Amino acid sequence: MTTVPTFSRGRAPGEPPPAEPPRAPEPPRRRSPLAKREGRVAYLFLAPWFVGMVLITIGPILASLYLSFTEYSLLQPPEWLGLDNYRRMLEDERLHTALRVTFTYVLVSVPLQLALALALAFFLDRGVRGLAVYRSIYYLPSLLGGSVAIAILWRQIFGTEGLINQLLGLVGIEGQGWVSHPDHALSTLIVLNVWTFGAPMVIFLAGLRQIPAMYYEAADVDGAGGFTKFWRITVPLLTPIIFFNLVLQIIGSFQTFTQAFIVSGGTGGPADSTLFYTLYTYQRGFGSFEMGYASALAWVLLVIIAGFTAVNFLAAKRWVHYGD
Amino acid sequence: MGGRRRRTSLASVLAVALLAGGCGSDDGGGDGDAAGSDEQVTLRFAWWGSDERRELTEAAIAAFEEQHPNIDVQGEYIEWSGYWDRLATQVAANDAPDVITQEERFLREYAGRGALLDLSEYEDTIDLSQLDPLVTGSGEVDGGLYGLPTGVNAYVVYANPRLFDQAGVELPDDATWTWDDYIRIANEITAATGGEIVGAMDYGGNEAGLKILARQHGQELYDEDGELALEPATLAQWWEYSLQLRDGGGTPQATLSAEQQDTGSPEQTLLGTNRAAMAWYWSNTLAALSGASGGELRLLRPPGEHERERTGNYYKPAMHYSVSARTEHPEEAAMLVDFLLNDPAAIDAVRSDRGLPANLEQRERILADLNEHQVAEAEYLAQIQEDVVDAPPAPPVGAGQVVDIIKRLNIEVLFDRLSPDEAAEQFINEVEAATG
């Protein structure tokens, strides 16, 4: 069977999965003094991580849950509000804009990115010469895509006097600015996200390599064509990998911040067309000192992402084949 | 491995990845007593701005440290937009700098929430007698004195005479020109140069210009109580002018205006790159803009000063110095503020970088040996004195958000997504919510 990548804790969406799922060691039957001492040493080594986890991660998360029920300006102690912050969201029109922008982005860019990643992985798997080189080149954007530098570059390329419009000018088309036009700005960010297809591509490639050749040979004997083989053998055997990529990319896309922040200069503009949920949360928290409301927004995003992920896992029972 | 285990571990991945914002904070921290005068003291002094400002300011700090060998001043500087994010988190973490540079729209935010020291209690240390009365009042909030103005600024229509020549259009008489003149001239320049030069940069996203128009109508952006005090018709007219310029060619196409609106540095603006003949900026930007454009720029008064009920121009405190309420060394911090405002050594170092000095005696003293940019700036400020009737009331808490609101609505108008009337209505709703 194929090896299914496991969701290990703390792995960033962009990183490739480990080659092997971690295997739990056999527990010793009787703990010798040496084993006990080693156990203590192990906890000692774990301590820095554990302390960091509690202080830097779990503590703030719980604090933000509390703050989400308060009005907290950063400058004065928080004041209890109950559910007011959550009620306010129902009438917050800019939040509704932010939700619309974010959902559009996720629903458009994730399928496009995965389709491109799968297509290229499929192509590279056909035995291209210099595979390692191509794989690295295609992977490169995934390493750079979330960076400030690329976002600034994007702003330049898609600007009114940027590269794209200069090229269009050569063929006589006078283009408008792309990142600065309310109707096009989000599309440029979708293109930027699709462009970072390298991470899922590498994972697809690893998955494709693990499909045993005998299936294809058997299909050849039966006289199946290329499309049939792709549809009937490759895709079903790849569904765990597709599923894995889908979940990670959806989560990652919901959390998009850097690109939108840089490309719009922190405003979510032009005219709120790139007002991502996280950017709006940031504006509320740090721009207008509404940390309580920002915390509530963050918790709602957590619920949204958890909801999407849960639906994904439920639906997965219908279409993901683990090959057993 | 079942799906369940993966689901839980995934949930923790999200939880870890999601929350960067919320930080715990404790709010203990009583005020420390004033330190003795010979004790070794370290003060932190925060400001925003360019590298040039850093050099000037550090020279002033060095002069202060020479006078007070027991005080060590550490500068903390960052560019404008990052400044406010950092200050908010520092104050929340009980780690605010001792001396804080403020801007009037944020001053009230901090003062109103108890983050700043009432400087009226330190009048023995800080000499207020020489400060320009036109701007000193701007630091008063709810009866306390929380900020002292660094210097004086005013809003200007910069004009590039070489580009006017190139277009064959005459420079207007800025004492009498109307808004219609402004629009007509901008449109003419674009037409005369075939679009190679645009008449003006779009200015519809800038509050200061709107404030001037409102005052010309006998209204204010905010009244004494911090309530919005301008009529929707004034706002609609404001954006109507923008559309007349956009449609007449006087300002560039909307996408370019949208990009320019977020351009922070003068070197990259259309005025700085000699591609626009006019633009609205603060008077202390003159040196940077002239440097970028590589030639002389004229400072024109805003249009319409004698067109309606009254004149609209006003002096604005460029920045304020304030002191953190939680400083351990209030006396020394007050000494530093006094030094920066009144001491000849500080004025010689900083000159007009923070506006023309608020200290009238010192302003007079340095006028004699200003460079050409500073002279032009000083002359402009002197020239508009006949137009300046009064100072606008201080903006209310929450006014800092209006910076972004007006920019966003301006884009909505420029792209015809909202009519000027609709944008006016939305402006009023959003600003009332932000400042309410």
Give a yes or no: residue A225 inside a domain: yes
pLDDT in tens, A15-29: 444 444 455 555 555
Q: Does residue A87 sit within a domain?
A: no
- Whether the ipTM is more than 0.85: the answer is no
Nearest to B220 by CA among B421, B387, B393: B393
CA distance B295 to B162: 8
The pair phi, psi for residue B228, each rounded to 5°, is -60, 135
Q: Quick check: B422 pLDDT over 90?
A: yes
Q: B411, A73: Cβ pair inside 8 Å?
A: no
- Report pLDDT digits (tens) over B26-59: 333 333 334 445 788 999 999 988 777 888 899 9
Residues 52-111 of B with CB under 8 A from A: 81, 84-85, 88-89, 91-92, 109-110
**Does B170 have pLDDT greater than 90?**
yes
Residue B159, pLDDT above cutoff 80: yes
pLDDT of residue A15: 46
pLDDT at A141 over 80: yes
Q: How many domains does chain A have?
A: 1
Closest listed residue to residue B286, CA positions, set B370, B168, B389? B370
Q: Which residue has the higher pLDDT, A58 or B224?
A: A58
- Predicted confidence band of residue B341 (pLDDT cuts 50, 70, 90): very high
Query: Among all chains, which residue has been given the structure tokens 């922008």?
Result: A101
- Looking at the DSSP bridge assignments, the partners of residue B323 are B99
Q: How confident is the model at residue B351 (pLDDT cuts 50, 70, 90)?
A: confident
A56 found inside a domain: no
Place of tokens 């404030």: B211
Lowest mean pLDDT among B32-41, B130-139, B177-186: B32-41
Q: Return the number of CB contacts < 8 Å for A and B.
A: 155
User: For strand B71-78 and strand A79-80, is the pairing parallel, antiparallel, or unpaired?
Assistant: unpaired
Residues of A in contact with B19 (CB under 8 A): 60-61, 64, 298, 302
Residue A324 pLDDT grade (very low, low, confident, very high; cuts 50, 70, 90): low
Among A9-13, B232-236, B358-362, B379-383, which range has the highest average pLDDT? Answer: B232-236
Domain boundary assignment for chain B: 41-150+318-382, 154-315+398-435
Mutate to test the interface with B, among A50, A58, A75, A164 (most CBs of B within 10 A): A75
Which residue from B278, B258, B239, B254 is spatially nearest to B160, judged by alpha carbons?
Answer: B278
Does residue B202 belong to the interface with chain A, where contact is any CB pair within 8 Å? no
Retrieve residue A157's tokens.
């390329």
Range(s) of the domain holding residue A296: 92-319
Asked if residue A234 lies in contact with residue A209, where contact means CB atoms within 8 angstroms, the answer is no
Least confident of A102-111, A158-167, B26-35, B353-362: B26-35
Residue B41: per-residue pLDDT: 93
Mean of the per-residue pLDDT values of chain B: 85
- Whether the pLDDT of residue B18 is over 80: the answer is no
pLDDT, residue A211, reads: 87
Question: Which of these ranges, A40-54, A126-140, A233-247, B273-287, has the smallest mean pLDDT?
Answer: A126-140
CATH number at residue A314: 1.10.3720.10
Bridge-based pairing state of the strands B276-282 and B144-145: unpaired
- Decide if pLDDT at B134 tops 70: yes
DSSP label at residue B34: P
The overall pTM is greater than 0.95 = no
Give the Cα separation of B286 and B257 in Å (integer). Answer: 21
Instruction: Name the A residues in 23-52 with CB < 8 Å from any B CB.
Output: none
* Neighboring chain A residues of B434 at a CB cutoff of 8 Å: 288
Higher-confidence position of A127 and B128: B128
pLDDT band at B365 (very low <50, low <70, confident <90, very high): confident
Q: Is residue A277 part of a domain?
A: yes
Report B:370-409 residues touching A (Cβ under 8 A).
398, 400-401, 404, 407-408
Residue A24: what pLDDT?
53
Q: Across the strands, what pairs with B357?
A: B151
Continuous segment of H or E residues that includes residue A71? strand A70-71
Mutate one of A50, A93, A180 to test the B interface: name it (highest B CB count within 10 A). A180
Q: Does the structure show a pLDDT above 70 at A282? A: yes
Instruction: Find the range with the poorest average confidence among A44-58, A164-178, A309-323.
Output: A164-178
pLDDT at B148: 92
Question: B4 at the A interface (CB within 8 A)?
Answer: no
Q: Is the pLDDT of residue B14 over 60?
A: no
Is the pLDDT reported for residue B360 higher than 90? no
pLDDT given for residue B29 in this prediction: 34
Specify the residue for token string 């109507």.
B240
Residue A3 lies in a domain: no
pLDDT at A267: 82
Main-chain phi, psi angles of B406, to 5 degrees: -70, -35
Establish if A212 belongs to a structural domain.
yes
Q: What is the pLDDT of residue B1?
A: 37
Q: If pLDDT is split at 50, 70 and 90, which confidence band does B250 have?
A: very high
The superfamily (CATH) of domain B154-315+398-435 is Periplasmic binding protein-like II (3.40.190.10)
How far is it, in rounded angstroms, from Cα B181 to Cα B17?
56
* Pairwise CA distance, residues B223 & A71, whole Å: 27
Superfamily of domain B41-150+318-382: Periplasmic binding protein-like II (3.40.190.10)
For residue A6, pLDDT over 50 is answered with: no
Within 10 Å of residue B160's Cβ, how many Cβ atoms?
26
| Residues A298, B14: C-beta atoms closer than 8 Å | no
Tell me what percent of the residues of chain A surpass a pLDDT of 70: 90
Confidence class for position B5, pLDDT limits 50, 70, 90: very low
What is the Cα–Cα distance from B226 to B392, expressed in whole angstroms?
Answer: 11
Cα–Cα–Cα angle for B245, B249, B251, rounded to 5 degrees:
55
